[in-house]
Structure 1
Amino acid sequence: MGRGVLRPDLAAGRVELRQRAPRPELAPLVEFYWNPRWDLRGRPDHEQKVLAHPNVHLVFEEPGPLVYGVQRGVFNRVLSGRGQVLGVKFRPGAFRPFIDGPVADLADRAVPAAELLGPDAGPGLAALNREILVLDDLTAMTALAEDHLLGLLRSARPDPLVAEVTELVERITASPQLFRVDELARELDMPVRRLQRLFAEYVGASPKWVLRRARLHEAAARADGGADIDWAALAADLGYADQAHLTRDFTAAVGAPPSRYASR
């Protein structure tokens, strides 16, 4: 199900999740495409919770495609009946060239794609959404989405900072041992203020949030792993002052203390 999906054991029995890598020409901007499908006809609705990553997503779904900014709380989605969506997961910072403003303006929002991407993107998006969602073949679905993205890319302004920001965020998320913004700034030889401005402009969440979310992803993954966990030792490994600090962070994000979450 991927890191950040809470209770993946329950999700796996209700949702089929397919992924596909982008074409080489889109790989610097797109991490992957994701396609959850479900058939819950005659079964209870399923509420899926996700600890989101510092990424913007373009999602083809009913009734129309939406752009989701970084979701800083827990993202909830209730699935019912039968359906599917196709999501485009942009690399951190890579959505900035497509919009006229900082990515921080999209935080915790879902905006109609036609409204956000401008007059050149609007025409045909509704038809494209319908074409994608009636298909079963993931290759065909992503091909339609990629043709549209390549058209948008041709009209987007080049921005050399995108690659720098993408590499920076991916470095953080791959290393939950990075604990503090000032430590990160020193390691990068970059003033803290510039780091914060870069994240607001390109990522849509603060560097402190990204550092904290990487640690919570690690804690949730351990909790979902099913093994007995020494929470005090894990708190120390993740740079928390003590177990109580980890418990507060985890509870605020997930809605349950880590030990209770792991025991369900």
Structure 2
Amino acid sequence: MKTVVGAAKNWWCEPVNIILVEDDADLIETIQLGWPDGGDRIEAYTSYASFKPVLFSGGLAAADCVILDMKLPDASGTQIITEIQRVSDIPILVLSGSGETEFRADMINRGIDDYVLKPLSVKELHARVARLVRRKIIPVHAGETPAQINGVTFDRARRILRCGAGQSELTHAEAQLLGALVDAGGRVVPRDELYLRSFGRAHREGEKVLETYVSRLRSKLDQLQPGSDEAIQTARGSGYRIIAQSSSV
């Protein structure tokens, strides 16, 4: 395990605590030495075995983000994602050499918050981590009250959907996306705006990340109340909107 601690501060005046699970020692060094914010702390683990004590002892509570390599010598990335999500809602950013559409869709369906393809740019990795951490620590605005989507309550403060005794947790990106649609009050929200609001970046030609997230939200709504998924409507060639939603007191 190696830790980088520097003197510089981020815009929120606190260092970011990052857990890096990666077996490539050269890549670990590249990330640590090239990291733009010297005040951030990067703790590196080169195997699942070395990371497990942190995972199962509550160590994630002190961290702001996990950067996870999908190919470790002693465990699959999907297994580790599942274990992390059992104990924490910490943002997870995946590192992978696979850019296949099916792989990206599978990662999104597993609830990860972002991914960076190898060979990576440390500046891009830093920017994506900073976005995830900002989204995690910025407090919920007072105006972000629960909203009704047909019979389902969207509690954005807790990032959950509720209907009767049932509930479904949302990832950071899912909550951002649903919040952007709710805030629009029924108007069509353009795809580019949804990408910026949900993922903190512009849409890339040919990718279907937004469609995958919309499908996940529709599925979660429908599971809680059949038919409520129809509240999210597609505006072909433009974006999405929510109808039949009202404020919840």
TM range (shorter): under 0.3
Considering fraction of residues, name the structure with more strand: 2
Instruction: Determine which structure has greater relative contact order: mean sequence separation of CA pairs < 8 Å that are 6+ residues apart, divided by chain length.
Output: 1
Structure 2 length-normalised TM: 0.27
Structure 1 length-normalised TM: 0.25
